[in-house]
Structure 1
Amino acid sequence: MSRVWFITGASRGLGRAFTEAALQAGDRVVGAARNVEPLDDLARKHPAHLVRLPLDVADRAAVFEAVDQAAAAFGQLDIVVNNAGGLLLGMVEEATEDQIRAHFDVNLFGATWVTQAVLPHLRAQGSGHILQITTMGTGGGFPMVGLYAAGKSALDSISEAVAMETEQFGIKLTIVQMGGYDTGLFTTGTTTTPPAPHYKELRDKLIEMWGDEAGEPPAVAAPVIMKLVDLPNPPRRLIVGSASYDIVHQDLQARTAEYRAWEHLSRQAAG
């Protein structure tokens, strides 16, 4: 049966790739983005299956209105993809208050507003699958992307709670930990902090380490998402990307080893 998707950040990157894959599968999509013009070509190809909604997810009232419109467009919501986001690139000390607040308004609060807005619709249906697009880096911070990881980590924790709170209503939720894909996140989706000279050496090392490789195209990840939404009992978490899986696994092993190395000190305190 044709399913109905609501995808934020649908005009580029992963959101665009997921929108294309869903339409190719014969599903219907409500694609939301600040600028929906890049979806014009898909609207011409799929006039009866794609509805475009201009939306700034940082505006809570606009989010609730848009979700109501999305639910009304095709009469239901089956798959919600919380994908809209951006990157705040730079050392934590360098970031301005305005930059930090604007970043969390989209990456954390925007995703939270969408989650809040869709839950009444999914609860009334007794079904639905929420995909929270986070990152392989939610397990901890890393230089220059600490604030990005912080927002995604917070969304990760909120999503765990939502999954447990709403499973009684037949709602499924998967935290999708994406690897590095060429989504434009480091170009059009990036806000850069004012560089401080005392971080120049570290910044140069990181830039050299990252190199110029943009990553695989987002379309590579789309088939995995399509298989995920077909599962009758989807996982609570899914890492998307082979190399990313290895990195996350190694990080988890290193963290476990450190905990065990200091277990003797931890156990000296009651509680």
Structure 2
Amino acid sequence: MSKAVTSRTWFLTGASRGLGAHWAEAILARGDRLAATARDKAALTSLSERHGDRFLPLQLDVRDSAAVRDAVRSAEETFGGIDVLVNNAGHMLVGAVEEVEEEQARTQMDVNYFGALSATRAVLPGMRERRAGRILQVSSFGGLVAYPALGIYQATKWALEAMSDSLAAEVAAYGIHVTMIEPLMYPTGLAAASPQVPQDPAYTHARQALCAGAEAGGFTPGDPAATAEALLALVDAPEPPLRVLFGTGGLEALRTEYAGRLAGLERWDHIARLAQGKPGRS
């Protein structure tokens, strides 16, 4: 793993498990400073013991926007500023739109979208003042496509994508780069660790279609540990991408998806023209 030219200060949410745990280890292993959050700070004890004052563990529920602001302020006061924000905290509801309870849907949006929005807004004043910074939004391949039985989860990622796309254009003038990371399949236990949705037999076909779609797409699980090297390479890139896939198989699936969307819009272009009306008519 290559060394950074200069050490950086990171703020990473969701650092206690899954991809976030691998990333926290890699960030600290190369000598950078890290403020890391978890809903249970005790899960970060090992990192604290091994990395001392280069590591700041923070207990945080990203649904609490005031607590997010306080956590960012603590990191800035401890380390003097945040160079890289990684919005990784999240969970994944698996269930048809009708199956998901309203409270579950709101919580899903609060964690995956509003949590990332709060952290993003909190770091921006400091990054703008220094005219430098990296914001990495952990989206999903499901932020680019949508599958049955994942609609509520993917809605949060589509919202994150739209916000981040606009943000990138807004903050480029301040030397701030925004990158959306789109992981495909990784055995991190994300679904198992997420709230469960009561299953309605009426939507068994939707869950079956989800599994069949993954198989038909030829997606194979990637190595979660390998994503750490990819993350560091992104941050070291002078001109990072707006979007990047983590894992293989996604490009071909996206070519098929986007070709289908364009074909559908072209097939119904006569309706678009009908809705436009004739010039001069009000």
Task: Say which is worse superposed, 21-30 or 77-86, in terms of deviation.
Answer: 21-30
Change in 2 beyond 3 A, CA 1:57/1:47? same
- Looking at structure 2, the residues matched to 21 and 256 of structure 1 have their Cα atoms a distance apart, in angstroms, of 41
- Secondary structure in structure 2 of the residue aligned to 1:163: helix
Per the alignment, residue 270 of structure 1 pairs with: 276
RMSD: 1.9
Q: Is the 8 A contact 1:136 1:248 kept in 2?
A: no
Normalised TM-score (structure 2): 0.89
Identical residues among aligned pairs (%): 40
Query: What is the deviation of 1:222?
Result: 1.4
Among residues 55, 61, 74, which one is paired with 1:56 in the alignment? 61
- Alpha-carbon distance in 1 for matches of 2:253, 2:49: 41
Q: Which of residues 192, 197, 222 in structure 2 aligns to 1:193?
A: 197
Alignment correspondent of 1:231: 237
Query: Could you list the per-position Cα deviations for residues 75-99 of structure 1 after superposition, in whole angstroms to 9, with x for gaps in the alignment?
Result: 1111100110001110100111111
> Aligned partners of 2:213 and 2:276: how far apart in 1?
43
The aligned counterpart of 1:22 is 27
Q: 2:206 aligns with which of 202, 209, 216?
A: 202
Unaligned runs of 5+ in 1: none
User: Is 2:13 the partner of 1:8?
Assistant: yes
The structure 2 residue matched to 1:92, chosen from 94, 97, 101, is 97
Matched, 1:121 2:132: no
For the 8 Å contact 1:183–1:217, the answer to whether it is kept is: no
Query: Where do residues 1-271 of structure 1 align in structure 2 (5 Å cutoff)?
Result: 1-188=6-193, 190-207=194-211, 215-270=221-276
Deviation readout 1:29-85 (Å, 9 max, x if unpaired): 111110132322222221132110000000010000000001112111111001100
Would the aligned equivalents of 2:137 and 2:180 in 1 still touch at CA under 8 Å? yes
Per the alignment, do residues 260 and 77 of structure 1 end up closer, same or farther by CA in structure 2, a change over 3 Å counting? same
Q: Partners of 2:211 and 2:184 in 1: how far apart? A: 18
> Judging changes above 3 Å, is the alpha-carbon distance between structure 1 residues 210 and 250 closer, same or farther for their aligned structure 2 residues?
closer
Q: Quick one: distance in 2 between partners of 1:43 and 1:161?
A: 36
| 1:22–1:253 CA distance, 2 compared to 1 (3 A) | same
AA partner of residue 236 (structure 2): D
CA distance 1:231–1:195, change in 2 (3 Å): same
Q: Please, what TM-score do these two structures have when normalized by structure 1?
A: 0.92
Count of paired positions:
269
Q: Aligned to 1:94, what secondary structure does the other structure show?
A: coil
Change (3 A) 1:130 1:9: same
Distance 1:264 1:205 in 2: 32
Judge conservation of contact 2:132–2:176 (CA < 8 Å) in 1.
yes
In the TM superposition, residue 226 of structure 1 has moved relative to its aligned partner by: 0.9
The letter for the 1-side match of 2:35 is: V
